[in-house]
Chain A
Amino acid sequence: MSSTGRRIALMSLAALGVLLLVPALGIAADAPKYPSMLHDDSSVPSDFSPGMAINTTWVVVAATLVIFMQGGFALLEIGFSRGKNVGTIVAKILTNFSIAALMWWACGFALAFGNGKYFGNSGGFFFSMPALADGVPGGGYAQSAFGAMSFSSATVSSKFLFQMSFCAVSLAIVWGTTLERIKFGAYVLYAVVFAGLIYPLGAHWVFGGGFLQVGDWLGLGIVGVQDFAGSTAVHLIGATGALAALLLLGPRRGKYGADGKPRAIPGHNMPLFGLGVIILLIGWIGFNAGSTLNAIDGRFPEVAAITMIAAAAGVLAALLVAKIKTGSIDIGMAGNGAIAALVGITAGSGYVALWAAPIIGAVAGVIVVLGVYAIDKKIDDPVGALSAHGLAGVWGTLACGIFTVPALAKYNAWGDPAGGLIYSGSFKQLIAQAFTVIVAFTFVFIMSFVTFWIIKKTYGLRVTAEEENAGLDISEHGMYGYPEQFIPAAELVGYGAVPALDRIGTGPVSDPEVTA
């Protein structure tokens, strides 16, 4: 590790130390007023009502599924990378998930889901909050402090966990464009800003009770946005961060020839990619159906069905377009089609009827393939994140403005109760959706570009050409993800090499066959 690298590592450790210290001090000072969740006797949950218990159970199960999506992102990225850049993705996913979790605890949750027009300011930093504020015994902790989610009786701690997993998903999306060339420290630095500030603010505006969701901002008469599980709030925000990173990072070495034409850099493992897609597909049931935060009202199975139907249509549409455009049945595009359709249906999953799901999914499947072909001509996005999460996220958000069923708009109580374009004949909802896309993109792009620009100027964003040629596994982590492919067997113990000490029988553990 270089000396700058060591300095950054030490700085991160110091920052982590401070982070862990602050709540301890805060709790000590505010103990009577804001008891933390788990240490104060009076706030230990007793019996849940059955309804609350069922809702909470579903939210925790859904959060588990969404957290499992990290495995999906890891395998998808590993499959689409070359074999010399795979171990780094494991380290990155675990690091980013951990940073997202801690930042969510420190300030993300409070900013994203507290009450407030532009940011949450009703407590919840380090998960300390007024206990039993709404008088619900046994875990109704301060439901009213998180108004956007108070329609569900699931406990605040389960919602905290669920939304934390969303923040981690959004962050994971950012790095899809940066594979095989970014410095590991850049992950750490940007993750702190993203999970602590950028995502919480964006998510607050779109589905945390902020000005975009409430609508009629500055008296403009724009209705509230409908984004059920985050086509914009999670996927477009992540993809926008990915675009900012990519523009400052540049393409992988050799991606574009001297003539400027893109060259394929095939990923090394399609089976792992495929498993990643399937894990994401399953995780998405938690992502969309879990966003009901509610099992009692029986909405969640329909949301799950809508999600899967859309994904199915997306796979077939993407394969068809790829076959027509290139003549081959593209394995990667099958997966990209699934992801894009899932992203596309994310906003509408709680607002549209089942018949609209295959349409939304199929359009997303077409968009992602054409998007990948177009984007690849100019900028190097190894996994197609800009298309699958960005373009499909925009489409999904707009699709709500077209397909939202009036009854569901009223039930969810956001946006125009007359429903989308085809029901109401009015562009009101569609305009609100488009406005949200523009606001979210602009905000996240500026914030992310500035953050990455500062990282680039101070710490550096990109590894050296030699390190990139050697691969990030060996240059950043000191070891290959697949050692047997890169280290000659003759030098690997157990494959060819016998340690020198063992040959003369004086090693720590002598090989009996050699010494005998």
Chain B
Amino acid sequence: MKMVVAYIRHEAFEPIREDLLGLGFPSLTISEVKGSGRQKGITEHYRGATVTNHLRPKIKIECVVEDSDQQTIVDTILRHARTGMVGDGKIFVIPVEQSYRIRTGESGDETLQAHPGEGSEPS
């Protein structure tokens, strides 16, 4: 099992989510995060004084998949998150030791499978 962690621009998220859902990966978690990288900060002006903002807002995606699916996830994120400008973000792939589905107590790879008929968008 691998956890794919990606830091991306906000506007890239929606197409990624839609594609992953279509490919059969409905399970993911996101967080609103702020961080710094090579992207420059911005300076705001308030009544003649300035405040410089080095930490830029990003979306952090976490998605745990079987080893064989890892590349699909990474490719999907790369396809939608890349604008070619500094600040597109980064992807990390991290090994995961074990997983459990809390509702059933199952563990291992089957916890990563979407059940048939589940995981679709609410009607």
Is A266 part of the binding interface, using a Cβ–Cβ cutoff of 8 Å? no
Is A486 part of the binding interface, using a Cβ–Cβ cutoff of 8 Å? yes
CB-nearest residue of chain B to A465: B11
Is B55 part of the binding interface, using a Cβ–Cβ cutoff of 8 Å? yes
Q: Write out the residue numbers on chain B whose beta carbons fall within 8 Å of the beta carbon of A493.
A: 51
Is B42 part of the binding interface, using a Cβ–Cβ cutoff of 8 Å? yes
Task: State A488–B10 Cα separation when bound (angstroms).
Answer: 16
Is B57 part of the binding interface, using a Cβ–Cβ cutoff of 8 Å? yes
Task: State A488–B51 Cα separation when bound (angstroms).
Answer: 11
Is A135 part of the binding interface, using a Cβ–Cβ cutoff of 8 Å? no
Sampled A-B contacts (6; CB under 8 Å): A479-B46, A487-B44, A488-B53, A490-B55, A491-B52, A491-B55
Task: State A486–B46 Cα separation when bound (angstroms).
Answer: 14
Task: State A148–B108 Cα separation when bound (angstroms).
Answer: 84
Task: State A492–B11 Cα separation when bound (angstroms).
Answer: 25
Can you list the 3 inter-chain pairs with the closest CB atoms, starting with the nearest?
A478-B45, A488-B55, A488-B34
Does B46 lie within 8 Å of A491, measured CB to CB? no
Is B54 part of the binding interface, using a Cβ–Cβ cutoff of 8 Å? yes
Is A469 part of the binding interface, using a Cβ–Cβ cutoff of 8 Å? yes
Task: State A480–B53 Cα separation when bound (angstroms).
Answer: 12
Interface of B is mostly: strand
Indicate whether A483 sits within 8 Å of B55 (C-beta atoms), given known contacts A469-B11, A488-B34. Answer: no
Does A474 lie within 8 Å of B42, measured CB to CB? yes
Indicate whether A487 sits within 8 Å of B11 (C-beta atoms), given known contacts A474-B42, A478-B44, A479-B44. Answer: no
Q: Write out the residue numbers on chain A whose beta carbons fall within 8 Å of the beta carbon of B53.
A: 487-488, 491
Does A479 lie within 8 Å of B45, measured CB to CB? yes
Question: Which residues of chain A (465-501) have a CB below 8 Å from chain B?
Answer: 469, 474, 478-480, 483, 486-488, 490-493
Task: State A469–B85 Cα separation when bound (angstroms).
Answer: 15
CB-nearest residue of chain A to B47: A479
**A502 CB to nearest chain B CB (Å):** 14
Task: State A469–B12 Cα separation when bound (angstroms).
Answer: 12
Does A491 lie within 8 Å of B54, measured CB to CB? yes
Task: State A487–B55 Cα separation when bound (angstroms).
Answer: 8
**Residues in chain A within 8 A of chain B (CB atoms):** 469, 474, 478-480, 483, 486-488, 490-493
Task: State A478–B53 Cα separation when bound (angstroms).
Answer: 12
Q: Write out the residue numbers on chain A whose beta carbons fall within 8 Å of the beta carbon of B55.
A: 488, 490-491
Q: Write out the residue numbers on chain B whose beta carbons fall within 8 Å of the beta carbon of A488.
A: 34, 53, 55
Task: State A469–B44 Cα separation when bound (angstroms).
Answer: 16
**A438 CB to nearest chain B CB (Å):** 43
> What bracket does the count of chain B residues touching chain A fall in?
10 to 19
Task: State A222–B10 Cα separation when bound (angstroms).
Answer: 58
Does B51 lie within 8 Å of A487, measured CB to CB? yes
CB-nearest residue of chain A to B34: A488
Does B51 lie within 8 Å of A491, measured CB to CB? yes
Q: Write out the residue numbers on chain B whose beta carbons fall within 8 Å of the beta carbon of A490.
A: 55
**B68 CB to nearest chain A CB (Å):** 30
Q: Write out the residue numbers on chain B whose beta carbons fall within 8 Å of the beta carbon of A478.
A: 44-46
Q: Write out the residue numbers on chain A whose beta carbons fall within 8 Å of the beta carbon of B46.
A: 478-479, 483
Q: Write out the residue numbers on chain B whose beta carbons fall within 8 Å of the beta carbon of A492.
A: 51
CB-nearest residue of chain A to B57: A486
Q: Determine which of B10, B44, B52, B54 lies in contact with A483 in the assembled complex, contact meaning CB atoms within 8 Å.
A: B44
Question: Which residues of chain B (51-68) have a CB below 8 Å from chain A?
Answer: 51-55, 57
CB-nearest residue of chain A to B33: A488
Q: Write out the residue numbers on chain B whose beta carbons fall within 8 Å of the beta carbon of A469.
A: 10-11
Q: Mark B20-50, 1 if CB is under 8 A from A, else 0.
A: 0000000000000010000000101110000
Q: Write out the residue numbers on chain B whose beta carbons fall within 8 Å of the beta carbon of A480.
A: 44
CB-nearest residue of chain A to B41: A491
Q: Write out the residue numbers on chain A whose beta carbons fall within 8 Å of the beta carbon of B42.
A: 474
Q: Write out the residue numbers on chain B whose beta carbons fall within 8 Å of the beta carbon of A491.
A: 51-55
Q: Write out the residue numbers on chain B whose beta carbons fall within 8 Å of the beta carbon of A474.
A: 42, 44
Task: State A480–B57 Cα separation when bound (angstroms).
Answer: 14
Task: State A311–B3 Cα separation when bound (angstroms).
Answer: 57
Q: Write out the residue numbers on chain A whose beta carbons fall within 8 Å of the beta carbon of B45.
A: 478-479
CB-nearest residue of chain B to A474: B44
**B75 CB to nearest chain A CB (Å):** 21
CB-nearest residue of chain B to A469: B11
Task: State A306–B42 Cα separation when bound (angstroms).
Answer: 53
Task: State A490–B54 Cα separation when bound (angstroms).
Answer: 10
CB-nearest residue of chain A to B35: A488
Q: Write out the residue numbers on chain A whose beta carbons fall within 8 Å of the beta carbon of B11.
A: 469
Question: Which residues of chain B (3-26) have a CB below 8 Å from chain A?
Answer: 10-11
Task: State A487–B44 Cα separation when bound (angstroms).
Answer: 10
Task: State A486–B55 Cα separation when bound (angstroms).
Answer: 10
**A34 CB to nearest chain B CB (Å):** 42
CB-nearest residue of chain B to A466: B85
Task: State A478–B52 Cα separation when bound (angstroms).
Answer: 11
**B10 CB to nearest chain A CB (Å):** 8
CB-nearest residue of chain A to B43: A478
CB-nearest residue of chain A to B42: A474
Task: State A488–B32 Cα separation when bound (angstroms).
Answer: 11
Task: State A431–B45 Cα separation when bound (angstroms).
Answer: 55
CB-nearest residue of chain B to A470: B42
Q: Write out the residue numbers on chain A whose beta carbons fall within 8 Å of the beta carbon of B54.
A: 491
Task: State A474–B44 Cα separation when bound (angstroms).
Answer: 7
